[in-house]
Amino acid sequence: MWTVQYRRMTPEERQELQSLMKEARTSLCQPLGAVVGALVALAASLILTSDPRALLLTVLSGGLLGNAGAWVLVRRRNSSLRDALDRDLRTGKVEVYQVAPRDVVRVTCPGGSVAGYFAGMGGGTMMFIEPREWENPGEDDFERLFPCTWFSLARAPRSKVDLGFTCNGEHFPPLRDIPVASEEALQDWVEDGDVLWASLDVLERRLR
């Protein structure tokens, strides 16, 4: 069973989104792009020449191209995030899911760490939940609280920023674990709070 409701944004939630808006205007990815571009250019040029001047020119050119490429990618990504945050701030609404999950499976990485959970909500729907980190790690570890018989998830509708997660029911163990090749592969497919129309069997085949 699950419901979705909307409520007014609190001052604290508005401040959090405004802080994220400011952070989206800056990025540290461009220096990384310059380094990667320079290394790729150096590796390619070593095959063609050993002239130090030619190598230096190629490395500088690769660094500039890598920096420019990173700038374009970051600008597009941050522009999309800023637009979503701006719409959330203008509407002033928060999306709140109230969920009583039926079956919950845990997704694990090769090293044994938990990448997330799929909570069955009935009617052929599943919600993906990422593990949460509390202000005081170790005191209320997420694994000790979730899965639970009733939980709520509050987030900004457009940007999907997590604004609050609460376990309101009793803890119960996951139905089973599903291993994935890497956490990155999972993140490329599904995000925290996403609702999918799929059964557990279909999800397991997709993840494996």
Question: Higher pLDDT residue, 73 or 119?
Answer: 119
Q: Which pLDDT score is estimated for 111?
A: 83
pTM of the model: 0.70
DSSP state of 51: -
Determine the number of helices (DSSP H) and then strands (DSSP E) in the chain.
6, 9
**Confidence band, pLDDT 50/70/90 cuts, at residue 28:** very low
- C-beta separation of 81 from 24 below 8 A: yes
Q: Which pLDDT score is estimated for 173?
A: 93
Quote the tokens at residue 168. 């309101």
Give the pLDDT mean for 62-79.
53
Q: Nearest Cα to 99, choosing from 161, 7, 167?
A: 167
Percent of the chain at pLDDT above 70? 71
Q: Which pLDDT score is estimated for 59?
A: 52
Q: Which pLDDT score is estimated for 41?
A: 47
**Confidence band, pLDDT 50/70/90 cuts, at residue 24:** confident
Mean pLDDT of the chain: 79
Place of tokens 């457009």: 158
pLDDT at 145 over 60: yes
Amino acid at 178: I
Percent of the chain at pLDDT above 90? 41
Three-state DSSP state, 200:
helix
CA distances (Å), 177 to each of 110, 114, 154, in order?
Answer: 12, 9, 26
Quote the tokens at residue 185. 């592969």
- C-beta separation of 83 from 113 below 8 A: no
Other residues' Cβ atoms within 10 Å of the Cβ of residue 39: 14
pLDDT at 75 over 80: no
**How far does Cα 62 stand from its chain's mean position?**
30
Q: Which pLDDT score is estimated for 38?
A: 47
**Confidence band, pLDDT 50/70/90 cuts, at residue 17:** very high
149's CB contacts (< 8 A; 6+ apart) are 100, 101, 169, 170, 172
Q: Which pLDDT score is estimated for 150?
A: 95
Q: How far apart are CA 110 and CA 208, in angstroms?
A: 12
